[in-house]
Structure 1
């Protein structure tokens, strides 16, 4: 199934379908196989204006072993982002507001963002409640842009078994490492940034 940000349905319809698929353990996928269409305009989501706006990104050719060539809508305000346009050093965190381990690792991501040493991007994944996702990002101090992927468009390309997942993209746009599962300490995250991206804090 192709996922185009232009084909959008109301979040209310999505919530009714996806909520039944369950807030299963973060590491497991929803089993019904149904996939809602892409999101409605995030500017209509309460509190979206408080999130970091998604920047415009210049179009670039896709990179071998880079992020997938697909676009996702901004959870806050701003344009859709084509993932293949992104270059690092960049940390991409896949999360959901219903995911307990995502809350556990959020302080480490917030601290890394405050350092300003790398670019950061969040992807709210398989999440039927954008208003709660916005609240999550604000409450946890995740002061960097976030995209919405309610229909799991990135699942195959990044082999997402469920959130959390953290991907590391180098300055050439290559996806150099994917950490699956929860980050357990600031030291662990800082070490990954140092080892995979060559950036020290």
Structure 2
């Protein structure tokens, strides 16, 4: 339960130029973004070896920036984009995992020039967890992103336990990865 509380204390961010997030307490700039899960603030933690990078990314919905190095698991991070066909194929599996409430999740909207379409996609697919924006491919090197989709599994220590490159092909596959890599049974 402490791990879930830890992610609940995780944050997403603001971006004043470019229209994503909420500039210092104002209404969301991207239409519909207020319907996405808000990104709560994180408690600063030291980075860990083989952990998430020391990057802060703005929230696609409302809330502060998320400093990825602060996140601990068990946690599933999915790198996606609204223009990515395979991302659309795997979205129902991610939505079902989020709905189970068994493991916290974070989405990273990657290299996506249309935040309004990203918000629409996340809402339409039922991706009810918080999402951050990586418009400049900042996670590319650390997570070895060739392109979306990519799903990373972060353990309780903050270590990236496994990275699945490519589309998830079934709910069973995703659930098995969560069990094998994070020790969470669904």
TM-score normalized with structure 1 length:
0.81
Whether 1:10 and 2:18 are equivalent positions in the alignment is yes
Name stretches of at least 5 consecutive residues in structure 1 with no aligned partner: 12-38
Whether 1:49 and 2:11 are equivalent positions in the alignment is no
Whether 1:158 and 2:152 are equivalent positions in the alignment is no
Whether 1:135 and 2:120 are equivalent positions in the alignment is yes
Deviations 1:102-143 (A, max 9, x none): 000000000000111111000000000000000000000000
Query: Counterparts of 2:15 and 2:176 in 1: how far apart (Å)?
Result: 40
Cα pair 2:81 2:109 within 8 Å, conserved: yes
Deviations 1:30-54 (A, max 9, x none): xxxxxxxxx5747200000000000
Figure out how many residues of one structure are paired with residues of the other and give that number.
170
How big is the shift at 1:10? 2.9
Deviations 1:44-87 (A, max 9, x none): 00000000000111110001100001100000000000000000
In the alignment, which of 55, 67, 72 is matched to residue 70 of structure 1? 55
Query: Counterparts of 2:42 and 2:74 in 1: how far apart (Å)?
Result: 15
Name stretches of at least 5 consecutive residues in structure 2 with no aligned partner: 1-12
The verdict on how the C-alpha distance between 1:71 and 1:46 changes in structure 2, with shifts beyond 3 A counting, is: same
Query: Counterparts of 1:191 and 1:40 in 2: how far apart (Å)?
Result: 33
Whether 1:87 and 2:72 are equivalent positions in the alignment is yes
Cα pair 2:53 2:139 within 8 Å, conserved: yes
The verdict on how the C-alpha distance between 1:181 and 1:41 changes in structure 2, with shifts beyond 3 A counting, is: same
| Higher radius of gyration, 1 or 2 | 1
Cα pair 2:15 2:22 within 8 Å, conserved: no
RMSD, aligned CA: 1.6
Query: Counterparts of 1:79 and 1:41 in 2: how far apart (Å)?
Result: 8
Which residue number corresponds to residue 101 of structure 1?
Answer: 86
